[in-house]
Chain A
Amino acid sequence: MSEKKRRLKLSIPEQEVMRPGNLACQGCGASLAMRYALKALGNNVILDLPACCWSVIDGPFPYSSVGVPLLHMAFETAASTASGIRAALKVLGKEDTKVVAWAGDGGTFDIGFQALSGAAERNEDIIYVCYDNEAYMNTGIQRSAATPYGAWTTTTPVKHFKKLPKKNIVEILAAHRIPYIANLNVAYPEDFIKKFQKAMSIKGMKFLHIFSPCPPGWKMKPDDTIKVARLAVQTRTFPLYEVEDGLKYTLNVKVNKPKPVIEYLRLQGRFKHLTEEQVSTIQKNVDEEWALLMKKIDKE
């Protein structure tokens, strides 16, 4: 053998599909998420975008910051529109082009839920991405089904903060037995990109759920985005795991020594009204959910 060529193996692709400049707020998790997603997806992809923060972030007509074809659509149509694009590409012989529905938590957990369930039941060959900032941020921070217990929003004011848990979207999708579901987090780019690459290699419906901090909506410092996102994992609030065929659960980032949930909560103004007792309630919920998840995780 001749001398070995030393290769630098990068865990994050060098390519930048996203163009510089967009209308995101400072520290926007959703903007980072799109950048990482497109690094993995490349250019051979069509995006379909229901009403969400990204409807604004992408930029005003005739500008666009994503660098790939993008169709803006109505709020509840991410999954159905993507199904139509997929069918068109199939009949036009462009099956190698990926179709990505890119929706917020409102467009996924709430108004777009029926179309999402329909597309999942049909096992559409699309990548459905939900960037979850846990409320309707684009319209000014109103609660959604993704808003967690304890959070302040403009429709759950401090006196009546949200007393209900966040809808477990991953479990609902798992019940549809789709080929691939994963939790992603902008503070874990290697894991994030690996999951996009895995989703691209699988035929059928993929659901990627991205934890995406929103500094204005969460009342936190814009420079704390990564810190808060990482704490969500380290406190076991947002476990990074994947579900294959609705049954095979894998934990992707181990959290053997979890930090107390208060460390995650106290960086965000949306939780600042919580009493010690309420914080313990959240800690208890996080522990219980983690225990439930661990029972499902494949131990092989």
Chain B
Amino acid sequence: MKKVLMGNHAISIGATLSRVQVIAAYPITPQTQVVEKLSEIVANGELDAEFIKVESEHSAMAASIGAAAAGARAFTATSAQGLLLMHEVLHWASRARLPIVMANINRALAPGWTIWTDQNDSLSQRDTGWIQLYASDNQEVLDSLIIAYKVAEQLSLPVMVILDAFVLSHTYEPVEVPEQSEVDKFLPPFNPEWKLDVNNPHAFGGLTAPNIYMEFQYNHHNAMLKAKELINKEGEAFGKIFGRTYGNIDKYKTDDADYILLTSGTLARTSNIVVDSYREKGIKLGNLRVRTFRPFPTEEIYDALKKAKKVFVVDRNLSYGHSGIFFEETKASLYNSDLDIPIFGFVTGLGGRDVTPELITEIVEHGIKSEKPENDVIWMGVQK
């Protein structure tokens, strides 16, 4: 059924269709409608779930860990400061190998107080061992939640589904809402091999000496590497049922492109418009949207970029004193390959500053004109 949904409600409906069993959440702008809608859905008896209205995001994640460890499908949603407060237990969730799924709405960090979008909140969680998927429209938000559980539960890894504050969270778009029966065929009930079970008592997460600790990390890393394959596989399987296919990357006219924009989130959609306008002028521009940030799809990015002359990475985030983070990751992952093309790193749109087609055009113009990037950070749309 087609509905017109705000991103936040696409999350709530995606979680409902995934038949989540325990929801633990704390309100934060711009995530609030996610929890409001879910409260309503649970209260109406449309979803057989327990909703714990915890007193902080730290407790939201801790309760999710408890729930998942006891064998329930757990869900939470947060944003910005809330995600940062969770940081300690994000590590715990992934190291405990619990397939929790969380929606994070990319909101810039304070101070100064802001509620508008950028990606520094989720990218600061890069090394927490979570799979990170960046969505670019509300349909993808809903679909990604369902796929996230399918991937998470096979690998025993948690997944963060990430979307831009307001640009998606509060924007209404037409969304095809899948039938529950179809979702049930795609996503079986959660039935973990290991859980807190009184008939088979074990201790989880106990004292781990140097003789064994590293093996857990080795397994965790390998599961993350496996996720690259599985995200594509399940994204295709999803497509066969629902007609919408997802993968680690999303290529827009990159195959024959001389110049490729590398983007994520909603910036990708603005960039596609710019690609079309260049194509009309006969300039071969393409856009490579990176959907999976962790695990980082190095091989697929290499394949997508290998015929290009230049790459323009557009980052709505910044690692202070270094560069934009997608830029840094892309550059680093290609360093040992045979690819030797200029990769430009543009930082823009921080704290929700509008990134228009005109601004992306400026980025492309700058990149085409320059032989090499003058700096690791090329600021765009900033008053210097």
Chain A residues with a Cβ under 8 A of chain B: 43-46, 48, 55-56, 58-64, 66-74, 76-77, 79-92, 97, 114-115, 117-118, 121-122
The residues of B that contact A80 with a CB separation of less than 8 Å are: 24, 54, 58-60, 62-63, 66
Query: B298 on the interface (CB 8 Å rule)?
Result: no
The residues of B that contact A45 with a CB separation of less than 8 Å are: 198
Report whether B72 and A77 are in contact in the complex, using a CB–CB cutoff of 8 Å. no
Determine how close the nearest CB of chain A comes to the CB of B204; give it in whole angstroms: 5
Interface centre among B70, B196, B202, B212 (most CB of A within 10 A): B70
Determine how close the nearest CB of chain A comes to the CB of B117; give it in whole angstroms: 28
Determine how close the nearest CB of chain B comes to the CB of A75; give it in whole angstroms: 9
Determine how close the nearest CB of chain B comes to the CB of A242; give it in whole angstroms: 26
Report whether B206 and A60 are in contact in the complex, using a CB–CB cutoff of 8 Å. yes
Q: Using known A-B contacts A64-B202, A64-B203, determine if residue A83 contacts B70 with beta carbons closer than 8 Å.
A: no
Secondary structure type dominating chain A contacts: mixed
Contact of B204 among A55, A60, A68, A72 (CB under 8 A): A72
**Nearest neighbor of A65 in chain B, beta-carbon distance:** B203
Bound-state Cα–Cα, A67 to B203, Å: 9
**Nearest neighbor of B203 in chain A, beta-carbon distance:** A64
Report whether B201 and A68 are in contact in the complex, using a CB–CB cutoff of 8 Å. yes
The residues of B that contact A77 with a CB separation of less than 8 Å are: 58-59, 62, 65, 89
Contact of A85 among B53, B67, B206 (CB under 8 A): B67
Contact of A118 among B59, B65, B200, B209 (CB under 8 A): B59
Bound-state Cα–Cα, A89 to B68, Å: 10
Contact of B212 among A61, A64, A87 (CB under 8 A): A61
The residues of A that contact B67 with a CB separation of less than 8 Å are: 84-85, 87-88
Stretch at the interface among B29-37, B44-52, B218-226: B44-52
Interface residues in B47-91 (C-beta closer than 8 Å to A): 48-50, 52-56, 58-60, 62-72, 74, 88-89
Report whether B52 and A69 are in contact in the complex, using a CB–CB cutoff of 8 Å. no
Contact of A60 among B21, B92, B208 (CB under 8 A): B208
The residues of A that contact B204 with a CB separation of less than 8 Å are: 69-72
The residues of A that contact B207 with a CB separation of less than 8 Å are: 55-56, 58-61
**Which of under 10, 10 to 19, 20 to 34, or 35 or more describes the interface residues of B?**
35 or more
Report whether A84 and B70 are in contact in the complex, using a CB–CB cutoff of 8 Å. yes
B127-162 contact mask (Cβ, 8 Å, vs A): 1 or 0: 000000000000000000000000000000000000
Contact of B55 among A64, A85, A91, A118 (CB under 8 A): A118
Report whether A84 and B196 are in contact in the complex, using a CB–CB cutoff of 8 Å. no
Bound-state Cα–Cα, A62 to B215, Å: 13
- Name 10 extra pairs, CB < 8 A, besides A77-B58, A87-B22: A69-B197, A69-B204, A70-B206, A71-B65, A80-B66, A81-B66, A83-B59, A84-B24, A88-B22, A88-B68
Query: B205 on the interface (CB 8 Å rule)?
Result: yes
Query: Can you offer 28 A-B residue contacts whose CB atoms are under 8 A?
Result: A44-B198, A55-B206, A55-B207, A58-B207, A59-B206, A61-B206, A62-B203, A66-B203, A68-B201, A69-B200, A69-B204, A70-B204, A72-B204, A74-B62, A81-B66, A83-B63, A84-B52, A84-B67, A84-B70, A85-B66, A85-B69, A88-B67, A89-B70, A91-B48, A92-B70, A114-B56, A115-B58, A115-B62
The residues of B that contact A79 with a CB separation of less than 8 Å are: 59
Determine how close the nearest CB of chain A comes to the CB of B3; give it in whole angstroms: 27
